[in-house]
Amino acid sequence: STKYRSFKPVHLRDRQWPDTVLTRAPIWLSTDLRDGNQALIEPMNVERKLRMFRELIRIGFKEIEVGFPSASQTEFDFVRQLIEKNMIPDDVTIQVLTPAREELIRRSFESLKGAKRAIVHVYNAVAPIMRRVVFNMSQDQVLNELAVKHARLARQLADENPGTDWRFEYSPEMFSGTELDFSKRVVDAVVEAFGATREKPLIINLPSTVEHSTPNIFADMVEWMHRNVAKREAIILSIHPHNDRGTGTAAGEFALMAGADRIEGTLFGNGERTGNFDVVNLALNLYSQGVDPQLDFSDIDAIRQVVEYCNQLPVHPRHPYVGDLVYTSFSGSHQDAIKKAFAARKEDDIWEMPYLPLDPKDLGRSYEAVIRVNSQSGKGGISYLLEHEYGLSLPRRLQIEFSQVVQEAMDESGREMTAEDIGGIFTQQYFDA
């Protein structure tokens, strides 16, 4: 499904620690249009939501959380438009979020009238802080009056509308801050209340709504659930990491290794506070270790443009895989090594390049932007740009002499030099005199 050039399948026999690395892509869910959208300064209008939806389909998401239809008319109308205008491909399932509240669940079902397939995602908080401070409820009350009661209602509404192929997801919100034995009790109870079976499993989505601990602890909690829930065969185990400690990607990777089947996140990690789990990051981590991510990021700049437009938020220049500066080397020794590796490389060679873990061409980026020159650079980068931009291959002694001239010009100006600047200095130095 992917169009990458240097994709190299990895064989298990080549791995030293087959159990500790990810060897296949998880089930992905994009929540750009829900969790990502709810965190925007200016949430998307229908036009921006549609643009994002089309992009998510193009990338290859098969499960897309399209909104929170009981939250606003815009959200409701967007879901209606997708259904009424027949915009959902046959291999894509839309998902909507609803809190465990009767009128909001009913409104969510209303928004989905006529859908061929849908996932209804019900959530309620389970953490002690929420029970004590927000609900003033005991564990049993949260379990019975929020979780089980509303799972039964959702099941009943689905049974009354047999025209749609219904699936369900349940999230014990703030799982990462909740006693494990209570999370298990809730999960076991909702599995029964939704009537989940091996053939029609329930998605149990474990969120680190707030990252409470290091990623290994979150993964341990997920693993404990994976091993201890009563009916594992009737569950698709999903995770929903956030990034409060800056370790959302690690938390996602560890938790998938610990037994999760599915992961929820957004493009470039947009989302509440410090963001949701970044799908692009994990997908391309998988790719760079030889696992087909089943998502297409082969034109990453075009994707970034759409996402920046829809979210009205810039992507950081050092963002992994996509930032303006990530296929760039300023340091002279890095530039020199890259230049030598390019020169030694044959067209069909697998990608093996110092300081560049991925072939930028795989993501639609070009080599031209790789080498940049500032006061930290040495002769390598300067010679590379002269050769690539002007076809000038300088002998070594002249490289040393000319790089000193460029260094002096940079020390004076204190700024980066473009290939054009360097060409100008070269002409001035050797032809204008």
Give whichever of 275 and 293 is closer to Zn ion, judged by the CB atom.
275
Decide: 261 and 238 in contact? Cβ < 8 Å. Answer: yes
Give whichever of 123 and 351 is closer to ligand KIV, judged by the CB atom.
123
Rounded least distance, CB 268 to ligand KIV, Å: 17
Gap between the Cα atoms of 246 and 83, Å rounded = 37
Give whichever of 173 and 359 is closer to Zn ion, judged by the CB atom.
173
Residue 123 contact, options Zn ion, ligand KIV, none, Cβ 5-8 Å cut-off depending on partner type: ligand KIV
Contact footprint for ligand KIV (CB under 6 A): 35, 97, 123, 171, 173, 205, 207, 209, 240, 242
Rounded least distance, CB 262 to ligand KIV, Å: 13
φ/ψ of 172, rounded to 5, equals -80, 95
Residue from 28, 30, 32, 35 touching Zn ion (CB under 5 A): that is: 35
Lay out the site mask for Zn ion across 47-76 (x = CB under 5 A, - = otherwise).
Answer: ------------------------------
Residue 52 contact, options Zn ion, ligand KIV, none, Cβ 5-8 Å cut-off depending on partner type: none
Stretch that binds Zn ion, among 34-42, 141-149, 250-258, 293-301 (CB under 5 A): 34-42
Rounded least distance, CB 30 to ligand KIV, Å: 13
Give whichever of 238 and 383 is closer to ligand KIV, judged by the CB atom.
238
Environment class of 220 (CB within 10 Å of its CB; exposed 0-12, middle 13-18, buried 19+): middle
Decide: 218 and 183 in contact? Cβ < 8 Å. Answer: no
Closest CA relative to residue 261, chosen from 233, 303, 302? 233
CB atoms within 10 A of CB 402: 21
Closest CA relative to residue 228, chosen from 186, 181, 275? 181
Rounded least distance, CB 62 to Zn ion, Å: 20
Largest Cα–Cα separation, the chain: 88
Decide: 375 and 412 in contact? Cβ < 8 Å. Answer: no
Give the orientation angle of helix 46-59 with respect to helix 300-311, to 10 degrees.
160
Under the binding rule (CB under 5 A), the answer on residue 336 touching Zn ion is no
Rounded least distance, CB 346 to ligand KIV, Å: 48
DSSP-assigned letters across all residues of 146-198: IIIHHHHHHHHHHHH-TTSEEEEEEEEETGGGS-HHHHHHHHHHHHHHTT--S
Rounded least distance, CB 210 to ligand KIV, Å: 8
Give whichever of 35 and 253 is closer to Zn ion, judged by the CB atom.
35
In which residue are the tokens 């959200």 written? 75
Of all residues in this chain, which one has the CB nearest to Zn ion in the complex? 35
Give whichever of 60 and 207 is closer to ligand KIV, judged by the CB atom.
207
Strands 63-67 and 262-265: unpaired
Which residue positions form the known binding site? 35, 240, 242, 276
DSSP-assigned letters across all residues of 217-284: HHHHHHHHHHHH-TTGGGEEEEEEEB-TTS-HHHHHHHHHHTT--EEEEBGGG--STT-B-BHHHHHH
Which residue positions form the known binding site for Mg(2+)? 35, 240, 242, 276
CB atoms within 10 A of CB 331: 15
Rounded least distance, CB 318 to Zn ion, Å: 24
Residue 306 contact, options Zn ion, ligand KIV, none, Cβ 5-8 Å cut-off depending on partner type: none
Rounded least distance, CB 178 to ligand KIV, Å: 11
Gap between the Cα atoms of 230 and 219, Å rounded = 19
Give whichever of 238 and 335 is closer to ligand KIV, judged by the CB atom.
238
**CA dist list (Å): 282 to 250, 262, 328:** 9, 12, 21
**CA dist list (Å): 314 to 57, 140, 178, 341, 351:** 22, 45, 34, 33, 30
Give whichever of 125 and 190 is closer to Zn ion, judged by the CB atom.
125
Contacting residues toward Zn ion, per CB under 5 A: 35
